[in-house]
Structure 1
Amino acid sequence: MNAYSGHTYKFTKEDNTFSYIKVHIKTQIGVKNLTRQEAVKLAGEDPDYLVDDLFNAIENGNYPVWNVFVQVMSPEQAEKYKWNIFDMTKVWPHKDFPLRQIGRLTLNRNPQNYFTDIEQAAFSPSTMVPGWAPSADPMLQARMFSYPDAARYRLGVNYQQLPTNRASVPVYCPFERDGFMNFSDNYGADPNYVGSTLLPTTFKTTKQGRTFSTLTEHEKWAGEVSSFTTEIGHQDFEQAAGLWAVLGRDPGHQDRFIGNIADHLSSVTYPRLRVMVYELFSRVNKDLGARIQTATEALIA
């Protein structure tokens, strides 16, 4: 499978200039999916099929590899672009913002203990390295709060001290202290509240003596354009129509999509609801709506 950030992030520099980015992680071996019939069969015969497949590939040295790309947009381009760049329902067309490879991701080791390595893992978009910063994307801002909050509830307040979650470099954060199951030195004899009279306090990450800020002068503009309308117009179906055309490049993709929709929709017993779905897909493509209607009603009949 491929993976995509969905959210808009920022790459920042020491002089506080920045660019907006979206992340794409694309498999080197290509995408392969199960049909719904195969998935239903495997769910009964081998529900751990995909976990086994990944584990055995790594165990045999057949390491899966993904190339990591970013799309890059300047603040000036963001202000003039036709869509709100913080709208998660919109992608950035590659023709406007081409993919630029920045790295590679390789899975080359299986967990030694599934519970300690996997079940206790806690990920959050608020965990960032210098040079990587959040944008004013409202959904991103919400997740930066909610993900750590869920981890504290699930694993305990000191979940970031667990080996699977702890930073690989020293981190000084005296505002995160105490709590149940603390197994660090807990900042020793340092005072509870670090005031400017005791220590030269800065709330920016430093790199080689230079400030490396996560905040930029564009926040004011971003905050003012982050609102969304509740009215649905033709522009809201533009990208869906583009994706439908992409699915038509290879034989069978559109047919399987229609079959998947019809299979689920045929269980809706209220006719008006089905009609609303047909109308919705017809706004993407008239032929798509008509084909879904034909396939669904045939299953019901």
Structure 2
Amino acid sequence: MTINKNKLTTSWGAPVGDNQNSMTAGSRGPTLIQDVHLLEKLAHFNRERVPERVVHAKGAGAHGYFEVTQDLTKYTKADFLSEVGKRTPMFIRFSTVAGENGSSDTVRDPRGFAVKFYTEEGNYDLVGNNTPVFFIRDAIKFPDFIHTQKRHPQTHLKNPNAVWDFWSLSPESLHQVTILMSDRGIPATLRHMHGFGSHTFKWVNAEGQGVWVKYHFKTEQGVQNLAPDVAAQLAGENPDYHTEDLFNAIDQGDFPAWKLCVQIMPLEDANTYRFDPFDVTKVWSQKDYPLIEVGRMVLDRNPDNYFAEVEQATFSPGTLVPGIEVSPDKMLQGRLFAYADAHRYRVGANHNSLPINRPKAEVNNYQRDGQMRSDNNGGSSVYYEPNSFSGPTETPHNKPASYEVSGAADSVAYDHDDHYTQAGDLYRLLSVEERERLVQTIVGAMKPVEKDEIKLRQIGHFYKADPEYGKGVAAGLGLSIPE
């Protein structure tokens, strides 16, 4: 039988006889409920949009590969890093953080940098940003922080009062605020920015020995940023500027690439380092722990369908492979639950069986049923464990390595509360012109804040990082440095 690929069918494959006119009782109607093709079209249309991500709603993505360039097997047994020259297919999603799905690409905002490696031992997700730090260091504050970045419940407008009130009451945010308000707050394109895993992770080698690790993706295109006036113009003229630039570059064969490097810290150093190495508002000095090259990431293929690949892609820092484990980072610990749970809500419990998320490795488990189950649901195989029917069983050698914990169960902060040294160091690294632009940007962002109390509290943080920093913002706002 010859199959006509141009024949229009219903979702269940039956041919459609009329796609221009609904079935009615006579030429004037009313419309008949028995027109199941009409009902299916309308019902599906109503459900074409899955709920957008609460954060990182606006994004762009691409396929590519990761190639190992240095042998680091003495640090990790991760299979995709096991030999120089080994290539692993991957998918990346770049995104803004706070805006909705239709917002502009060129707003001042961190950029999400989420990479999915389709390894032979299962998928590995590295879910980071284009900054090495974050605004907060405990996941319990995350919903409150994101609320400040969203819209006021009455006016439905962005609310600078909430933004700066939260930051001024959360001094740990100062390092990230300084980065955000600097020139790097608006990347020129998604290709011209670095990426970071941000959190501290743990690598474990074949002998069970571990090290702490931080990831750095260094753009081979060079770092370039947009001036605020140019970014504002683009936001009005072409709000999808970054999305378009990435697609066109790949489409024209100008494949963007990043070099992946890591910082490696011996486990015992975590107890003596001058900053808590698990605090995501802090960086490790590269003088103390130099960058070590791992490999190279190249993006060489655009998605065929945005919804199927970019919108339905799901990432979680808990999607790990043997040889890569988590750390006690309080923010990371919360994300291990929150990200996967967001996908179960937004896309469904079977999101990992969608083509864009499906691992190349064979999946064998006892998870069954649920919405959007697209495979054979385990067929007639055994569906519980332990069992006597040769079902899949655990492999003890793949258990995560243990690490020692101590102390009473309690709600406690990190031991280290120096939120000013690294922010001040960053400020002093900037050129005079960069400092001036940083202060101007902050002043412009803080002017709409209604309460001087909030402004003065934030100025105090800038001053503690560097007196010149605080004085510059205070002068711009017409305020005096608080006592």
CA gap of 1:227–1:82, structure 2 versus 1, over 3 A, is farther
> Equivalent residue for 1:279?
460
Give the counterpart of 2:209 among 17, 21, 37: 17
- Contact persistence 2:201–2:325 (CA under 8 A): yes
Task: Give the Cα separation in 2 of the matches to 1:75 and 1:270.
Answer: 46
SS in 2 for 1:7: coil
Larger helix proportion of the pair? 1
The answer on 1:80 being equivalent to 2:261 is: no
The answer on 1:45 being equivalent to 2:228 is: no
Give the counterpart of 2:413 among 224, 228, 231: 228
CA gap of 1:142–1:40, structure 2 versus 1, over 3 A, is same
List per-residue Cα deviations over 1:241-269 (Å, max 9, x = no partner): 11112223xx5211111111000111122
Q: Which runs of 5+ in 1 are unaligned?
A: 206-210
TM-score by length of 2: 0.56
The answer on 1:112 being equivalent to 2:304 is: yes
More off after superposition, 280-289 vs 270-279: 270-279
The answer on 1:266 being equivalent to 2:447 is: yes
> Equivalent residue for 2:399?
213
- Contact persistence 2:278–2:329 (CA under 8 A): yes
Task: Give the Cα separation in 2 of the matches to 1:171 and 1:292.
Answer: 55
Q: Which runs of 5+ in 2 are unaligned?
A: 1-192
Deviation at 1:273, TM superposition (A): 2.0
The answer on 1:177 being equivalent to 2:360 is: no
Which runs of structure 2 are paired with 1:1-301 in the superposition (5 Å)? 1-174=193-366, 176-195=367-386, 198-199=389-390, 202-204=393-395, 211-216=397-402, 218-220=403-405, 227-229=412-414, 232=417, 235-248=418-431, 251-297=432-478
- Contact persistence 2:343–2:351 (CA under 8 A): yes
- Contact persistence 2:382–2:391 (CA under 8 A): no
Q: How many residues align?
A: 287
List per-residue Cα deviations over 1:57-80 (Å, max 9, x = no partner): 111111111110111111111122
- Larger CA Rg, structure 1 vs 2: 2
Amino acid at match of 1:220: V
Task: Give the Cα separation in 2 of the matches to 1:16 and 1:134.
Answer: 15
> Equivalent residue for 2:125?
none
Task: Give the Cα separation in 2 of the matches to 1:55 and 1:223.
Answer: 52
More off after superposition, 181-190 vs 37-46: 181-190
CA gap of 1:133–1:105, structure 2 versus 1, over 3 A, is same
Deviation at 1:185, TM superposition (A): 2.4
SS in 2 for 1:276: helix
Amino acid at match of 2:444: D
Amino acid at match of 1:243: L
Percent identity reads 36
SS in 1 for 2:206: coil
Task: Give the Cα separation in 1 of the matches to 2:288 and 2:270.
Answer: 12
- Contact persistence 2:262–2:291 (CA under 8 A): yes
CA gap of 1:225–1:246, structure 2 versus 1, over 3 A, is farther
Amino acid at match of 1:212: N
RMSD: 2.4
Task: Give the Cα separation in 2 of the matches to 1:200 and 1:255.
Answer: 65
More off after superposition, 7-16 vs 255-264: 7-16
Moved runs in structure 1, 4+ residues, more than 4 A?
196-202, 221-227, 229-232
> Equivalent residue for 2:122?
none
